[in-house]
Structure 1
Amino acid sequence: MVLLVLAAAALWGASRMTWVTLATSDGLTQPRTHALNGGVWFGALTPLALVLVAAIAAVLATRGWLRRLVGVVVAVLAAVAAVPGFALLTGHGRTAERAATLAELPARAHVDQVTTAALPPVLSLIGALAAFAAGVLLARMPAEAARLSGKYDNPVFRRAAAADEVAARQAERARPPSGATGAGSEPARPGSAAPEQLSERVLWDALDAGSDPTDDERRR
């Protein structure tokens, strides 16, 4: 989660910084300077940052293979986010032509100079690496790992789990006392203790699911 937060902040910051600066002239007016920020140079930077923020909520709300699937998606998005910064730093692609197109220069305009900044692409690469590391960690998380926080659970699953827990406690209370004798009675188990009280939240969730925690009769 920390890596996702850092990645989203890095990509958002890179989208606000100037990546390419153009010096142009058309022979009729004074030379002009055009600054292209990350959001213009690579329009997906800001949406990718927002998706990573949404991935944090997805991590909190999922577990098992769903959480690992979130990790795979995050890793793929991280690879996409790394492409523009890597291409600009290594000089791949037609930077001048792309900059002229994005700046929407008139046909008579001529590009005199193209200046690229190093910090924004590096920052985007750092964010992409952080997101990729987070995706790998999520994809490698064991399937039996629990949710990070119960308060973010889907209400349907939470109520079903509460109903199951209440049913298990009712079945436990329906067993004969440890000292009872006769046919059908179970012998006392050494070291057995009284079951813990159900939390207030579990009780309310069980009621929402249609299970009565106060009913001592064994239910199906």
Structure 2
Amino acid sequence: MTASDGELAAAAKSIGRRRQGIASLFLIAAALLLWISSRMRWAEVIAEDGLGEPRSFDVHGSDWSPWLVAVALLFVAGVVAQFAVRGWALWLVALILALAAIMSVFPGISLIGEGANNLFAARAIDLDPKYDVRAVLAFSTPGYVVIAGAVCAAIAAVFVVRGAAAGGMSSKYTSPAARREELERKVFAERERAARGETTESDGNERLMWDSLDNGLDPTEDRD
């Protein structure tokens, strides 16, 4: 690899790391938002058993959607995973994060759109069958918190993909100028070996000659 190649690779790697750093911030924010929403009160169930005054039962996010915490932990694991893997595995991490972001948004939407008078709230807390549900009061704020977390996770997945693309470019891309410089180095290295009487591989020399001609170099011409 030439100096130009090294500079390009270092720059691409730096860009990839920066994007992964931004993705980490969004993943941490997403995990925190989902965890907070799991602790919030999503609904209140008002029920009575016919023996006394109606009672109220709180429904928290962990009751309404038990896997909110699990998804939050997945986002935290994504922070570590994106720095631990490369290549196609990094694209797989981004895909998993994107799918988790999509899945996590549904509880928030269901709370905002269908939370009021939804008997699912009573089932979520395993309300004793002796109670007769009179009303279900829903609180929309936790739903918006979940949606915000899902958006953060989706943005993070995009930055993970862009980081993966930058890393791929650093390992695969070689500029024409860098390629020409590398061929010049190889041509004159082979000429010096021949001048010292050292043996060279004919197949390698032939391939080097054709590569040189394709790039506008004459391997038989002496360099001043």
TM-score (norm 1): 0.63
SS of 2:137's partner is strand
Distance 1:129 1:88 in 2: 17
Are 1:129 and 2:129 matched, yes or no?
no
SS of 1:96's partner is coil
Instruction: Please say which of residues 68-77 and 96-105 is displaced more in the overlay.
Output: 96-105
Distance 1:121 1:143 in 2: 33
Distance 1:13 1:102 in 2: 18
Unaligned runs of 5+ in 1: 147-174, 187-220
Are 1:182 and 2:223 matched, yes or no?
no
Distance 1:79 1:65 in 2: 21
- Correspondence for 2:69 among 9, 28, 46: 46
Are 1:66 and 2:89 matched, yes or no?
yes
Give the aligned partner of residue 84 of structure 1: 107
C-alpha deviation, 1:185, in angstroms: 9.6
Give the aligned partner of residue 30 of structure 2: 7
SS of 1:54's partner is helix
C-alpha deviation, 1:124, in angstroms: 0.6
C-alpha deviation, 1:121, in angstroms: 0.8
Are 1:120 and 2:142 matched, yes or no?
yes
Distance 2:162 2:60 in 1: 35
Distance 1:142 1:42 in 2: 32
C-alpha offsets along residues 99-143 of structure 1, whole Å, 9 cap, x if unaligned? 121232233312222111121111010000110111122234444
Letter in 2 for 1:79: I
Instruction: Please say which of residues 24-33 and 70-79 is displaced more in the overlay.
Output: 24-33
* Aligned pairs for 1:193-212 within 5 A: none
The 8 Å contact of residues 68 and 140 in structure 1, kept in 2 or not, is answered as no
- Correspondence for 2:45 among 22, 25, 32: 22
RCO greater where, 1 or 2, for CA within 8 Å and sep 6 or more?
2
% of aligned pairs identical?
30
Letter in 2 for 1:183: G
C-alpha deviation, 1:144, in angstroms: 5.4
Distance of aligned partners of 1:116 and 1:183 in 2 relative to their CA distance in 1, 3 Å threshold: same
Letter in 1 for 2:159: L
C-alpha deviation, 1:8, in angstroms: 0.4
- Tell me the C-alpha RMSD between the 2 structures: 2.7
* Aligned pairs for 1:98-113 within 5 A: 98-113=120-135
Unaligned runs of 5+ in 2: 1-23, 169-188, 201-224
